[in-house]
Structure formats: structure tokens, C-alpha cells
Amino acid sequence: MAKEKDTEKKSKKAAEKDGSSNYDASSITVLEGLDPVRKRPGMYIGTTGPDGLHHLITEIFDNSRDEAMGGFANDIEIALLPGNRIRVTDNGRGIPVDIHKQTKVSALETIMTVLHAGGKFGGETTGYKVSGGLHGVGASVVNALSVYMKVVVHKEGGVYMQEYSKGKRKAAVKKIGSTKQHGTIVTFEPDPEIFKEGINFEWHRVVGHMRQQAYLVRGLHISIIDARTQVPTFGQDDEIFFLRETGVDALSHTFFFEGGLVSLIRFTNQLLKPSHKSIFYVEKKVEGVESVEVALQYADDVSSRILAFANNIHTPEGGTHLTGFKTALTRTLNTYAKNNNLAKASEESFTGDDALEGLTAVISVKLREIQFEGQTKAKLGSMEAQSAVATVFGDAFAAFLEENPEEARAIIGKVILAMKARKAAKAAKDSVLRKGALEGMTLPGKLADCQSSDPADSELFIVEGDSAGGTAKQGRDRRTQAILPLRGKILNIERARLDRMLGSEQIKNLVLALGTAIGDTFEIGKLRYHKIILATDADVDGAHIRTLILTLLYRYFRPLIDAGHVYIAQPPLYKVKRGKEILYFYDDASKTKALGKDFDDAVMADAEAEEAGIKEAKDSLLEAAGAGSAEAEEDENEGGAEVAGKGKAPKVSIQRYKGLGEMNSDELWETTMDPEKRILKQVGIEDASEADKVFDMLMGDDVPARKSFIQSNAKLATLDI
């Protein structure tokens, strides 16, 4: 007992010493103002990587866009300025600048520095029937995460301005002039302490999002200007309202679409062959929902492209509006097919996947009281949207099919073809996967598997051909690295259905090696390797094979890319031997940087010197030292012959690798497979809709579009001729 009491006393003293027992009110930290945002930015913008960085623009733009949705603005400009600054201008009503009764400071300062303060809570009293902003945190979050922010308001004849840093005001709101304009200008510079991965706003990403928004708000002009190469003072003058009016010579785009969602469908399907001419469109207001808009068209394709929006916010994870759409689509198609004897009575009903194949659709709902899941608004949670979309779309689409019998037959024919392909694919999967399992042949014979059974430690190298496969098998770490050689070029699956795909031996081997199955039986939890590394040759054929594999992974194994499991190996392009020193370079730039501008000239001079004088010097050396002597052979191997007037210099040689098969196993391990030294590029998808269009264009059937792309970008290509 005495020992137990002693131990208890010692534990208590130790606890008091490290403070763990003093858990009282003084232990509670209260973050004031915008400090919570800086402490946990991921809660508000999702990530501090590129996605979160670009989300800052979206938050500020959404405020301007909401003014346009309310009918108070029709012009928005986004400018990328020098010094990582973004400037967003609208010709709306202008943020109020009068004193707020509750906070006792300007309403502008309240909106920019206080969480959950904004004009979206008052409903029709503020003029916002619908809006994307819900919680009043967007502008203040951007302010908190910016090292600099300035807001200029043109309102009721006056120009007002306030500046901030890291969420705190620099001074009170002040009037700086008079104006005939009306609207708001917000300029901000993200804080590098928050965005540690770097601040790099991607032009194509900003343009793509703004183009999408212009389709969703008919009659709205959206301009984007890339003025990052202009002088540092450009755009900082408070007297400039729209920068494009200054006539500055900068990259710019302006979007204005009167067709709305119908125009967006045409744009999305521009590289595809439509299955029917007319684009279906409906817009209607129902009780509890301000607007339901749906547009769709089927195309000759095996993939679907569905964009869903709620109060003009893109919801990539879908939600209740998308659920209502899919339910109504499948039900309506089944009903029409059976009522018009377009489907055999003996055949089963269409499934949701059958109805979605080849479909391009846009669903947009606008609600007064909207609920998203999380501040980043990736998924709609408002239950009233589901029934509203199902009712409005279902009734209108049924009427469209009845009124357009030719279009209806084309659509039903497309869905029936998808149903037949699904059944054939199921039979093919059963043959490949289940039969293989029963026969104990779950892994392809060409796969050299690794010893580890832990997917987190395991890597699969997909290599080009048996030669590279043999070298990789010899050079690998057998414990964690598996090798799968593919023979030749795999099938281009961009227009191939699953049953035809699984008839390809190479694709079948890859499916079995991954372990996830494919199609509706795909399970990412069964993935056998958490690093799937494409290691093809650095030539045109290697690039083509890599593109074919990426197309397969994008279309049928997209979750692997989304989860960050797909990589591209970077084998060296050059092996440089200078005497006994061996150097590897992965591109021309690194070679030039390391060895100097005149390195290639020096190698050429060395080669010319060897042709002109080395043989003569070698003969003299052999004559003096005795033919076949060890010293002479050593000098020959080192390339250290004394050439008149040049002195002794190590021989330099360059080897340009064309393929992995040219390397020996030690070289391949050291340069491409060793986790401590290798360079891998992780494959990701920044813009899924843009990626989809690129795959359609480069791997699809539209030859003129592909030819135009090649001609337009030919000068950007690095050719190995």
C-alpha cells in the first residue's frame, strides 16, 4: 500500500509539472475575430493547396454573381494582377458603407471582418431571393487568408475605400472621391504563410470556371484579364473601374451567352456526334423552389457528362437535385419505351447506368433557403430540390418524347444499345474475373508480383515490352515492386465498350493485376498496389502507349486517379560519362544547367579531336610504352591521350536513352526505380470537364478537331528528330 501511495504522489507531481492536471477554464483558448479561419483554413476553403487557392476567387466572384442573379448587376470583371493579386469588379449596388447598428462600425467593415455577417440572411428585404452565399463567411474568409486586401465601393455618388491585412483593418472606411459609377472592387493577395505550396493562379482554370458561370446567368458579361506581366502599378489606381476600358495589352476573355444551358450543352458536345438533333430544355418555378432548369442531349459516346448546380454553385458531388434528375430520367424512359412497344416485354427495365450512357446534361436549381454539405458547397442537401427536379423534369421530358417521336426513338435506341452492352459486359467480366478465380488464375502469368501483401507498401510498374520488363524484373526491389510488361499498344478504349475491352489480353492482364475489378463491380478497397507507375519509353511510341493507358484509367478507373494512386516514371534522357564520372540528366535544361552552355560544343570538339589526333597520339604512346602495356591501356581507357597543345583531358561521351530496354538493371534501379533517387509525376485531374473534352478530341473519332489541335500546338511540341 505504501508503494502504491508513493507512486500516486509521484504521478500527481509529474502531472502538475507538465500541466496535464490543470485542465480548467484557463486551458480554454478563445479565438477572436477571424483567427479561427487562419488557424483552421481547411474548414472554410477545403484545402490550402491549389484548389483552396482558386476557391478564394470563387468566394469573391460569387458575391458579385449574386448581385447579377438578383438583377442588380450585368457586368463582372476578374483581373489577375502582378504580385499574386486578384481584382474582382462588378457594377452592382455596391456594399453598404453606412454604420451598422449592431457592430457600431461601417457595414463594409462588418462584412469583411466578421464571420457570419452578410446580406444573404434577410431574404427579399435585401433583394436576394436566391444566392450562393449562405453563412456570411465568404468575403471575411478571403480577407483572413490574405496578406493584403482592399475594397473600393462606388455608391450613391461617392467612392469609399478600406484596406486590410490578415483579416484586420488598417484604418476606418474613408471617402476618397466622387463617382458616376456604382459597384464594388475587391483586390486581394493570398498569404504565402497559409498557401505554402505556392501561389500560382492558373489562367485556364479561372477562365473555365467563369465560362461556366456565364452560361448559368443569361445576360451577364464576364471578363477575365491576365495582367500579371504589366507594370506593378497597373490596376491599383482607385479611379479605374473596369480595367479592360484602359485598353491595356493583356490576355483577356469575355463571355456572354443568351442561350444559357442550351449553349452550354452545345459547347460540351462540340466534339461529339449527337444522337438526336433537338436539345431538350425546361425551366419552371415550383412551390418552395425559385427555379428548376434542365437541358440534355444524348451523343454517340459511352461516357456521360452531367453538370449539377445549385444557386449557380457547381456541386461536383451531386446531391438531392441530381438524385431527382436520375430517378425521373430512368422512370420516364422506361415508361415511354413500354408504352410505345420500343422495348421487348421479355427484356428487363433500363437501369440508371443504361439511361446515363452518352448523356450530356445540365441541372440547375435555385432555392431561397438552400443547404449544402460543408462550406465548400460540393453537395446539395436541400430535400425539396429532389422532388422539384423529379416533377418538373419528369413531366417535361415525357412531353418532349411524345411530341418528338423521331428524337424519342433515337434516344430509346441509344439506351437499348447501352442495356445490351451492359449485359455483354457482365458476361465478359464473369468470364474474365470469376472464371479466372475458380481456376486459380487470378493473376496474369506475365506479372512478376512483389512479396509484400500490404497495398500501402506495394508498387506496380507497368512497362513497355518484354525487354524493359526483363530489365525491370532484375533491377527491382522484389519485396515491394511488381512488374507488368504490356506487349505493344493496348486497345484505344475511348469508343470501345467493356465487353470488347475485356477481349484484349493486355487490358485483361492489367485488370487482374490491379485487383479492383471493373465497371459496376469496381472496388477501390481491393486495389493491390497504392502506387501504379507507368514506365514507358521516352519516344513517340512510348508516349502513345502512356496516353492509351491513361485513357483506360481515366474512363474506367477514375477513382484511382482521384485518390492519387497513378504516377508516371521519369527515366533519364541522358547518361554522360566524363572519365570515370557518370551523370544522369532527365531533360535538356538540367543537362545544360549542370554542365554549362558550351558543353555540347565541347563534346563535339572532343569527338573531332579524337578523329583528328587521338589515333596518332595513341600510336605514339604505344610505341613509347610498348604495345599492349598496362599503362598504355589505362591511358586509352581514360581517354587521357596527350594531344599536341591540348594537354590530358578525360574522355566525354553522351548516351541518349530511347527506351528502358537500353539500360542495364543497375542503371534502371538507380535512376528510375529507387524510391530514394527516382522522380515520379503524380497524375491528377484539375478540371474534369476539360480533361473529358481533351480525351474526346485526342482519342475519339473527330479527326478534323484533332488535326486542328495538332496544327495549333505544333510549335509547343518537343520533337525528337
Active-site choice (67, 75, 357, 537): 537
674 is catalytic: no
Percent helix, strand, coil in the chain (nearest 5)?
45, 20, 35
Q: Which of 202, 238, 395, 539 is catalytic?
A: 539
| Helix residue ranges per DSSP H, 610-647 | 615-625, 630-638
> Which residue in 194, 202, 206 sits closest to 48, CA to CA?
194
CA 645 to chain centre: 59
**Whole-angstrom distance, CA of residue 321 vs CA of residue 319:** 6
Report yes or no: 212 and 226 within 8 Å, Cβ to Cβ. Answer: no
CA distance 320 to 252: 36
Q: How far apart are CA 127 and CA 106, in angstroms?
A: 20
- Helix ranges (DSSP H) in 442-522: 465-475, 498-501, 505-514
DSSP 527-574: -S-SEEEEE--SSHHHHHHHHHHHHHHHHH-HHHHHTT-EEEE---SE
Alpha carbon distances (Å) from 609 to 288, 599, 605, 616 = 86, 15, 6, 11
Which position has the grid cell 513497355? Answer: 464
- CA 292 remoteness from chain centre: 29
Active site residue 619: no
Compute and round to an integer the Cα radius of gyration of the chain: 32
CA distance 381 to 358: 27
What number of CA atoms fall less than 13 Å from residue 94's CA on the CB side? 19
In the annotation, is 449 catalytic? no
* Contacts (Cβ under 8 Å, ≥6 apart) of 238: 152, 159, 161, 176, 177, 185
Alpha helices in 70-136 (DSSP H): 107-113
- In whole angstroms, give the CA distance from residue 385 to residue 121: 20
Q: How many CB atoms lie within 10 A of CB 530?
A: 16
Which residue among the candidates 290, 541, 600, 642 is catalytic per the annotation?
541
Collapse the DSSP code of 186 into the 3-class scheme (helix H, G, I; strand E, B; otherwise coil) and give the result.
Answer: strand
In contact, 143 and 190? CB cutoff 8 Å: no
Three-state secondary-structure class, residue 43: helix
163 assigned to active site:
no
Catalytic residue of the set 62, 293, 464, 667: 464
Residue given cell 459486359 in the structure block: 425
Contact 485, 464 (CB under 8 A): yes
CA 536 – CA 514 distance, rounded (Å) = 18
Cβ–Cβ under 8 Å, residues 697 and 501:
no
d(CA 554, CA 493): 10
Alpha-carbon span 525 to 560, nearest angstrom: 10
Which residues does the annotation mark as catalytic? 464, 537, 539, 541
